[in-house]
Amino acid sequence: MTPSATVWPSWTGGDPTITGAQTSGVASYDIRYRTSTLGAAFSAYLYPPAWTRTINHSVTVTPAATPGVQYCFSVLDRDHYDNLSPWSADHCTSVPLDDRALTTTASRGTRGVYYRGTYSSSAKAGTTFTRSGLTADRVGVVVTTRPSCGAIDITFAGKPLGRISLHSSTPQNQQTRWLPVFALWSGTLTVKNASNARVIVDGVITLR
């Protein structure tokens, strides 16, 4: 999975058959969303006018200037008699934080193939990349994988989440690797080089 500066929420809907009632089919959709930045509370729902009574099955959001923001979308559908469905459950995505948002002693570099044009690299075991003040129940890391790359250990709020191998048969940039879902915690996210092989960290992602 490659991180993107653009989010494309999409959906489908239907008008269920109910005994004794007419079925007219879906006429349009309303879409709403809310946002949260890192450990902050979610905003109230926003209802863009262009996303009301739309017949489209997707919309485009371009949050390139807001790394660390989580977007949660939900949708309802409307039939031709103007009956409304309940709002769907939220479906969420998050814009990755760049490696420059992490504290580290690793080397810094710039190149267009990396997320937001920057990366941090270390070939020394124990080198850490940290970010405090996060609240999440799932985290991911944006990394480069190569034949010569090693592995990273990830902890959050002092609890180990797992080890991720960055080895691959061919070089791959901007690869997102997710850790398993856990309980909602708040604290510091730490990514640590697990060996003396090179690791390239490009960013981190949090969801809650």
pLDDT in tens, the chain (208 residues): 445 545 545 656 555 545 455 566 788 999 999 999 887 889 999 999 999 999 888 887 765 557 888 999 999 988 888 888 899 999 888 889 999 999 999 999 999 999 999 999 999 999 999 999 999 999 999 999 999 999 999 999 999 999 999 999 999 999 999 999 999 999 999 999 999 999 999 999 999 8
Residue 115: give its domain's CATH number.
2.60.120.260
pLDDT value at residue 112: 95
Q: What is the pTM of this model?
A: 0.81
Q: Are residues 61 and 148 in the same domain?
A: no
Q: What does the buried/exposed string (b/e) look like for 39-78 if buried means 16 or more CB atoms within 10 Å of the residue's CB?
A: eeeeeeeeeeeebeebeeeebebebeeebbbbbbbbbbbb
Distance CA 150, CA 165 (A): 6
In a domain, 166, yes or no: yes
Q: Are residues 57 and 84 in the same domain?
A: yes
Q: Which of 45, 71, 94 is the last residue of a domain?
A: 94
Contacts for 45-54 with beta carbons within 8 Å, 24 or more apart? Answer: 45/74, 53/28, 53/29, 53/78, 54/28, 54/29, 54/30
Residue span of the structural domain in which 172 resides: 97-207
Q: Are residues 109 and 75 in the same domain?
A: no
Q: Which of 94, 123, 144 is the last residue of a domain?
A: 94
